[in-house]
Amino acid sequence: MIWLLVRDFVQSLAQQDVKLLTSTIDESIESHVMAFMVEESRKQGKIMKIKM
């Protein structure tokens, strides 16, 4: 899976075409925030609110 992301990134750079990327920066940030909050929820044993 990671190789597909790397491939898309390299192709996007080489062709200078952001449409080749599999996700936008906003989508990437959102998924990272969710992952961090899931881990925080696990550590604290409670539901965490996410403000986007």
Q: Is 36 among the domain residues?
A: yes
Q: Is 9 among the domain residues?
A: no
Q: Is 43 among the domain residues?
A: yes
What is the mean pLDDT of the segment spanning 4-11? 87
Look at the chain and count its residues: 52
Contacts of 7 (CB under 8 A, 6+ apart): none
Domain of 51, in residue numbers? 24-52
pLDDT score, position 28:
87
What is the mean pLDDT of the segment spanning 19-46? 91
Indicate the number of domains in the chain: 1
Say whether pTM exceeds 0.85: no
pLDDT score, position 11:
92
Q: Is 29 among the domain residues?
A: yes
Backbone angles phi, psi at 32, to 5 degrees: -65, -45
DSSP state of 46: S
pLDDT score, position 6:
87
pLDDT score, position 45:
97
pLDDT at 50 over 90: no
pLDDT at 52 over 80: no
Q: Is 42 among the domain residues?
A: yes
Does residue 30 contact residue 52 with C-beta atoms inside 8 Å? yes
